[in-house]
Structure 1
Amino acid sequence: MELSPLPLLLLLISNICSQHTDENPRATVSIKPAQHVFRGETVTLRCDVYSEGVNSWEYRWYKESSASVFSELQELTFSSVTESDAGKYVCIGAERGGSQTSCRSDDVTLTVSASVPRAVLSVSPQRWLTEGDSVTLICQVNGSSTGWTFSWFTQTLLSDNSNNFKWLSDGSRGAGGNYTVSSADLKHTGVYLCRAERGKPAYNSTISNTQPLWVTGVSPPVSLIVSPSRTQHFTSVSLSLSCEEQSNSTGWRVRRYTDVWRWLEGCSSLWGSQTGSTCTIGNTIPDDTGVYWCESESGENSHPVNITVHRGVILESPIHPLTEGENLTLHCLFQYSTPTILRADFYKDGTLIQSQTTEMIISTVSKSHEGFYSCKHRERVESPESWTHIFDHCRLGHAVVLQKQQRWKISVSLSCQSTEEQQADIRAEPE
């Protein structure tokens, strides 16, 4: 059996240490920032020997099968590491001016990736939220998990509709790669990104993929009015989106995020035309499928609306969330017939709930009716799914302000003993 060509000194020390483990201290190696690093990072390997009565040590570094000393410094530093620096390293210590020698350290393997570290952003538990929900953004680095700190950003639009990154100053909520919003608010609607860095000098990952958060609330300062008033729309038609203001905020504009571009967009000549607070899409295409909402200059948001553009069969469903006790009405529409309403089967979360009717009505909805709805004509294709959100009375809290047409301010305090039994103390006063 052929021996590995390690230096003779290391072999002798290994034999000595295996027989006299109590007399010979063992060298230990630490590595910063991690054993798996990326090309260009600064990497430091440090050798330490701890032994009573010995104050000063000399060090010897060896790399893999080389018989020569690689370095005699206690710290072995690569200021801009490359793939050629990868490999197994081992160190030993010898008492300076004395006779004591340490046991060799365990092998430490340095791995160097040629690629740039990539930050990946995900959301838990989901991106669609109701005011008060908790949500966590999770930032990770592909192939590496040690020593990273994280920065968090949202996308903003400049006056020329180009994208910009806004750094989130409350980064302490992002310790350990998790950025948690414990009680979501309408202001948290937006498109988020993250970036990781580690080491000195700092070495940065790529900017992550985008992750949107959509928050629906009880009383938004503005409503997005969609015409025709439904969440699904045919191709090759005109679609109007308007911001109907209910507060003193100014400068409301339509924003959108599509699955095609995965980027924040303002109404522009590339896909629509802006007149005041109204954005008009003159000729809809499937690429217009996405989430639309209104945003003010001061950062307030409306309810987000998930709009689908589809050819053939679509589902007509409510634009905005329903509140428990309201009625849900659904129709199945076909693009190439007059009238457009079809006799169809209706589904919730993929399960058939009503057959061969031109209209499906669910009276006095409850939270259990929340879900994905679709319809299907037996001789034609099925519509896309559409999410119907139901506000739970018990989730509305004890200080809900609803602004009605008559401008009465209504304060609602709810006490929820069970889903069947709810008590409310309602006081009203004119604004």
Structure 2
Amino acid sequence: MGHTLFGALGLFSLNILLYCGHAQGVPQSVLTVSPSWTSPGDSVTLTCRWRFFWYKAVPDMSRYSYYTYELLAGGTTGTEQDSYILHGQTHTAGYQCRAGRGDPVSYNQYSYVKFVWSGGVNPAASLTVSPHRLQHFSTESLSLICEGNSAEWRVKKADEDGYVSSCSDWGEMTGSTCNIDIRARSGVYWCESATQSSNAANITIHSVRHPVLTVSPSWTSPGDSVTLTCSVGPPSAGWRFFWYKAVPDMSRYSYYTYELLAGGTTGTEQDSYILHGQTHTAGYVCGVGRGDPVFYTLYSDVKFVWSGGVNPAASLTVSPHRLQHFSTESLSLICEGNSAEWRVMKADEDGDVLPCSYWGEMNRSTCNTNTRASSGVYWCESETQFSNAANITIHSEFIFI
């Protein structure tokens, strides 16, 4: 896999400068002064001596995400300088430092591991990302595959704050492959064996939100055209849009199945779709996809286009026959048409859709409302049809003037 795609930092035989700052705590710094007795006008030298020790981090495969520390070449006596130059860096590697002083040397704690990443190919350890790209979405499957001269691997990730975690924190390790789940986030990913680190991949994982469908107009007269518009969060480029009709699923309470609209198997590049000659109430859904093969996000919520026009196959009758009602009076919603099974639905002003059982009682093809009923658009559904819709206002009490 070339470094053009997976160049996390793109380091090829470069010189790397390491810097070490020692933490406060043990051992305490020791200050010397010279001379300790002076005459007026003398100069005094203050000396605080530390020696710095430089290590390569070696994966400890027996201890989850730990590392052991190997002194870099010639590093047994440390350096007086707080920086160290690595010449000819070729592969991903981790480094640590610590400071010490005295004879025998008393050390402070090790620093955290810091990584130098490379996208360069390492025959002894390689990372393959599948699908083969750096931009991914949280709802699609993503595999990180380790290959090389080892029988045991682990996959690591460093986030933007430098925090390093292992595959088990955001996926599942199976053999030499890490299959990530929805907990995965953007970061630099790489493989480790007991002796090697692979090329690194700087992967961006986008959280995918539900697409949002809008319909215009939401109330139609027979023959009107209706525009469906589907929006998705960033990145917005590169999506294909898929358009569906909602079909009532009578076996699952208030659910719907989705049927692609005519000619919709390949989707559209445009985020809008025009329905010509709308005649009856209907529900619609959109979805978005990208890639080859196409990866789909979640579906949008169902949005309805309502019609008051008569549909011989499905009709709603409101009894008493008016659109203004009061919560204290009885109200029946009667379904008729070419079906033996019906349900009555209501959409409130926020677009939430609920069946009769939430605000009434369904008796065969009639819904008798109770005091929980509220204003909204009401209609009947069978397994194949939607009835005319009624925009009913239900007042909570009588108003005396």
> Given the two structures, how large is their TM-score scaled by the length of structure 2?
0.47
Q: Which has the larger radius of gyration?
A: 2
TM-score norm. by structure 1 comes to 0.44
